[in-house]
């Protein structure tokens, strides 16, 4: 992986208590809706609580975005079981640019769907900082 960006480094040093609590309180709940909107993975559960996940590592000279090839509608009605982060490849591009990827496996009672976080940068910034909060 490339050098870590300042936002990622600072985020790694800070408390992730909000993220941990948001995820823990959402596990075991039934998914009422799940969608990817503006690089934000948004869950709503059958008890009307919400969970949002995103990559909060933005530094200068980067383009960050989140994608999935899975049909998220297939997971409505499933129970949210767990999340797992997996490092993906770093593709060195021309002129020193790089394209980093990290995968988030979302485990449910109906199977797993995978989100891919992408970070395209100038080679001096990199890393990911997946955050979660109880949604609005």
Threshold 0.85, pTM exceeds: no
- The residue with tokens 């969970």 is 51
For residue 28, what is the DSSP state? Answer: T
The pLDDT tens digits for 32-51 are: 999 999 999 999 999 999 99
Q: Which two tokens stand for residue 61?
A: 């000279």
The pLDDT tens digits for 20-33 are: 889 999 999 999 99
The pLDDT tens digits for 85-116 are: 888 877 777 777 888 888 999 999 999 999 99
Euclidean distance between CA atoms 29 and 67, whole angstroms: 23
Q: Express as a percent the part of the chain with pLDDT over 90.
A: 48
């Amino acid at each position: 992986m490339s050098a870590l960006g300042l936002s990622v480094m600072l985020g790694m040093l800070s408390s992730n208590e909000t993220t941990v609590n948001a995820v823990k309180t959402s596990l075991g709940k039934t998914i009422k809706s799940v969608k990817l909107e503006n690089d934000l993975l948004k869950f709503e559960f059958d008890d009307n609580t919400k969970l949002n996940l995103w990559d909060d590592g933005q530094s200068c000279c980067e383009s960050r975005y989140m994608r999935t090839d899975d049909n998220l509608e297939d997971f409505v009605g499933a129970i949210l079981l767990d999340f797992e982060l997996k490092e993906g490849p770093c593709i060195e591009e021309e002129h020193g640019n790089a394209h980093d990827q990290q995968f988030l496996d979302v485990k449910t009672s109906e199977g797993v769907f995978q989100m891919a976080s992408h970070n395209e940068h100038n080679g001096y910034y990199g890393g990911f900082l997946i955050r979660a909060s109880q949604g609005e």
